[in-house]
Amino acid sequence: MLLLSGVFAIRRVLNPSLAILGLLLAGPIAGCDREKQADGQAGQGQENVSAGQAKGVGQFEYIIDRSHKGEAAPAAAFRGPDDAAVTLVSFRGKPLLVNLWATWCAPCVAEMPTLDALAAKSGERMTVIAVAQDLKGAEVVDPWFQKAGLKALQPYLDPENGLLDAANSALPTSIFYDAEGREIWRVVGAIDWQGKEAQALLAEPSS
């Protein structure tokens, strides 16, 4: 496992371009690995990651990955705010931004207020959801939401890490889908969702 600054880790991958991604995200705040791994192994299949667009804004560091463009949203089920099972198919009909995060991941927590502000402004234009990857689920996520004072985001839960496994990525990862559920791009790492870079991404055609 590749350790970043002795604090966080990026999962081991076979593609050398992901090693570049790890180096680009290294720093005081970097990408987080999953909460716990039984054997330290990661999935395969990450390809063609473009490491040429890494950016940093204060504590935010990220990379824009377009290598999955056109791929269908995964069918993995997770839990909604009402504790009912839901899949990404349920959100088809307008663009969807899915943020994979965890309460123990410092970069995830750092970008959450900016994501909440984006969700509040999105209205009918697009849907924004944050899906927690905490293994203890509501036990830790619900108290975090109560303390955070977020205005628009709701606590979606994925304690089985089904979406994270499908993304084969580190936390935080935000994936933008078009109205038909096809991936447009993803941001690996924390980004200021109120900043110019994020706004330019979101303004790109979603079809």
Domains of the chain: 57-202 (3.40.30.10)
pLDDT of the residue at 99: 98
Question: Measured between alpha carbons, how far is 61 from 133 in angstroms, rounded to an integer?
Answer: 20
- The answer to whether residue 141 scores a pLDDT higher than 90 is yes
Tell me the mean pLDDT in the region 79-92: 96
pLDDT of the residue at 59: 61
Higher pLDDT, 205 or 152: 152
A 10 A CB-CB count for 44 gives 10
Mean pLDDT score of the chain:
80
Residues 12-69 have pLDDT tens digits of 233 333 333 443 444 433 568 777 544 433 333 333 334 334 454 456 899 999 999 9
- Altogether, the residues listed in the chain come to a count of 207
Instruction: Say which amino acid occupies 112.
Output: M
Ranking 5-14, 35-44, 168-177 by mean pLDDT, the lowest is 5-14
Q: How far is CA 133 from CA 34, 157, 162, in A?
A: 8, 7, 9
Ranking 28-37, 90-99, 195-204 by mean pLDDT, the lowest is 28-37
C-alpha dihedral sign at 164, 174, 156, 149? positive
Closest Cα to residue 156, out of 135, 129, 136, 134? 129
- The answer to whether residue 77 scores a pLDDT higher than 60 is yes
Question: Measured between alpha carbons, how far is 67 from 89 in angstroms, rounded to an integer?
Answer: 21
Torsion of CA 142, 166, 104, 156, to 10 degrees: -10
> Is residue 23 a contact partner of residue 9, using CB atoms and an 8 Å limit?
no
pLDDT of the residue at 207: 65
